[in-house]
Chain A
Amino acid sequence: DAKTTQPTSMDCAEGRAANLPCNHSTISGNEYVYWYRQIHSQGPQYIIHGLKNNETNEMASLIITEDRKSSTLILPHATLRDTAVYYCIVRVGGADGLTFGKGTHLIIQP
């Protein structure tokens, strides 16, 4: 699986959009970009994934650059409950496990 690079931590004001970047410059053509988050002492929660096109669901939007070397997860209206560690993972689909890096600790400020 390709390696990803994320900022260690970010702050965002409550009610504003939180934009979390991820670099994956060695991504290959058949690798998906996944985002998970982990709230303290809970299991990781799946957020969204994409291959080439931008994706949106009820939780977030995923913007993937045209060259697929980076992506941004957007939480449109951050709340205090969005404070968590966010993981960007690049992988080919299949039954093998996920490789989690250190992620970005997002802190939503009131």
Chain B
Amino acid sequence: DIQMTQSPSFLSASVGERVTLSCRASQNINKYLDWYQQKLGEAPKLLIYNTNNLHTGIPSRFSGSGSGTDYTLTISSLQPEDVATYFCLQRNSWDTFGAGTKLELK
């Protein structure tokens, strides 16, 4: 089974700051990597699929990159509504989620 490791587990940042979240797979996942945002009490919401494709309606301040085993979600200018937990998901071999990065405002 492919394991997904997210870092950091917790991040505190200021409004307007550039934020980078990481996800590492235990083996090559061929860019089959998605990012989800989950706000408290809500279902996960798709932000980015296949590493760098922005889902419909998602603000352009969100972007993704990566290849092989290492992937990144970047928020170019953090907004108050971005407070949430962010999960990565690999779909190269069945589905495996990361444990999440909890993002809060400083």
Q: State yes or no: do A and B come from one complex.
A: no
Interface residues of A (CB under 8 A from B): none
